[in-house]
Amino acid sequence: DTGVSQNPRHKITKRGQNVTFRCDPISEHNRLYWYRQTLGQGPEFLTYFQNEAQLEKSRLLSDRFSAERPKGSFSTLEIQRTEQGDSAMYLCASSPHLSLNTGELFFGEGSRLTVL
């Protein structure tokens, strides 16, 4: 399967613990995006990378969130000191395009986080 892969698919953690999600984009896709989605809402932008460079991070994003994309391949999203409000589906998407002109993002199946 050459689609976007996310791990783990489900994570249940206790409040205050750290969690890390991994995304493996489609090979050679330059852009990688992280989104967060809660039930009944559209995807909420978190951050995006062009190759290994993190070009933008949402102003709404707490400093407990950090993302990396070493070597411009896979990416990790870490949430420190989780809170119940962090419970959501975390979606990763990649695109071969240098701009959003086509709007075509390839999404993974997401990592669902539940914070108890």
Find the binder of other proteins among 12, 109, 114, 116 (CB under 8 A). Answer: 109
Contact pattern for other proteins over residues 53 through 82, marking x by CB under 8 A: --xx--------------------------
| 89 contacts 37 by C-beta, under 8 angstroms | yes
Estimate to the nearest angstrom the gap between the alpha carbon of 3 and the chain centroid. 15
Q: Which stretch binds other proteins (CB under 8 A): 12-20, 63-71, 73-81, 103-111?
A: 103-111
Residue 43 lies near other proteins (rule: CB under 8 A)? yes
Distance from C-alpha of 27 to C-alpha of 96, rounded to nearest angstrom: 9
Q: Which of 42, 53, 63, 84 binds other proteins (CB under 8 A)?
A: 42
Examine residue 115 and tell whether it contacts other proteins (CB under 8 A): no
Per the CB < 8 A criterion, the answer to whether 78 and 66 are in contact is yes
The amino acid at residue 71 is K
